[in-house]
Amino acid sequence: MKKNIFYKSLLLILLATFVSAKAYRGAELRTIDSYRYGRFETRMKSAPNSGVVSSMFTYHELGSAGVEDWCEVDIEFLGRYTDKVQFNTITNWEESHEHLHELDYDPATEFHVYAFEWTPNYVAWFVDGEEVFRQTGGHITLMDRAAKFMMNIWPPNYPDWVGNFNSADLPSYAIYDWARYYAYVPGTGNTGTGNDFIQLWHDDFESWNTSRWQKATHTWDGNNCDFIHANAVFQGGFFILCLTTPTATGYRGPTLPVDSEQGALPEKIHLSPAYPNPFNGTTNFTFEHLEPGSLTMDIIDTQGQILSSRVFNKSAGGFTSLSWDGNNDLGHAVPSGSYICRVRDKDGAVSRKLLLLK
């Protein structure tokens, strides 16, 4: 008798799970740690198609106070728009402060860097390093609760906001190249507005750092998908959020480029991967230039500063061997961290990521 009751209970649970399952599958990545204030940054390409949202945001996990405890800062891409991004803060009682910002490109077709600074006095949003919008006022002072750094993709049940969703558009992917967090340290930082921030970590998404990130498995009313692990994919140095049907999960798109920083690869320049990489001391690479002319090799840090630059004038095409010893142009050793080697000419550039360990 007890066995029959057990199996009936199990069947009811399974049936309830099946009935409550959403029609689609999405994904969410969130940090394990929570952060109170800071600069949050990513380089990404948003998901296309009407009815689809892809994002980068911070969110305070609600406690016993419920929506009275709300604290959220958003960068949201609504796939219905090919030239806009939405910025938003959400404070207690789900009060939103939405702003649509015009872009001069389609964020679903190009990688760009997006960031926001969250402080006790303002929240400011940035595109490719330039501040484009800022909020101040009483609602900002309410935003004092520690929050997780998050990214997700989902089809909201709000067509007036995101447009009409068409399942024939699936799969849809948002692709992230890297993410960074900078602590808010007013008066003692070295980057960001007023040099009030300092970088605490940078993740290249070469793999899933399980000590930093969690994959989500939940949903909520108004979200027409369930979040699953299989749709949060680390592949080829990228993190990919996938919105799919339940029977075709995971990333099934085209092969991603080896290095996202290089963009479109000029056919007349070929740059080999660095070796060794990661390195301690000196790393080497070879490039082939198919035409004569002037070339420049730059070593660039994660803030975009050129640390070292060398010019080569080649009278004919061919192979050139290069190396970098971890020093800047002044001969000073640079600290451990991620760097970019870029070889460029007047028409374009190719680049490779470097990881210096000491």
Residues ≥6 apart with Cβ < 8 Å to 89: 72, 73, 74, 96, 97, 123, 135, 139, 140, 143
293 conformational bin, left if phi > 0, alpha if psi -120 to 50, beta if neither:
left
The active-site residue, picked from 41, 76, 117, 261, is 76
- Give the span between the Cα atoms of 353 and 299, in whole angstroms: 10
- Give the span between the Cα atoms of 140 and 126, in whole angstroms: 17
Hey, what amino acid is at 15? L
- Give the span between the Cα atoms of 122 and 137, in whole angstroms: 8
DSSP symbols for 273-308: PPBSSSBSS-EEEEEEESS-EEEEEEEEETTS-EEE
The active-site residue, picked from 28, 72, 117, 261, is 72
Neighbours of 252 (CB within 10 A): 11
The DSSP bridge partners found for residue 26 are 227
The DSSP bridge partners found for residue 77 are 54
Could you identify the residue written with the tokens 């749709």? 231
- Give the span between the Cα atoms of 317 and 309, in whole angstroms: 20
Residue 76 falls in the annotated catalytic set: yes
The DSSP bridge partners found for residue 175 are 45, 240
Asked if 348 contacts 269 with a C-beta cutoff of 8 angstroms, the reply is yes
Q: Kindly state the DSSP code that residue 155 receives in the 8-state scheme.
A: -
Positions annotated as catalytic residues are 72, 76
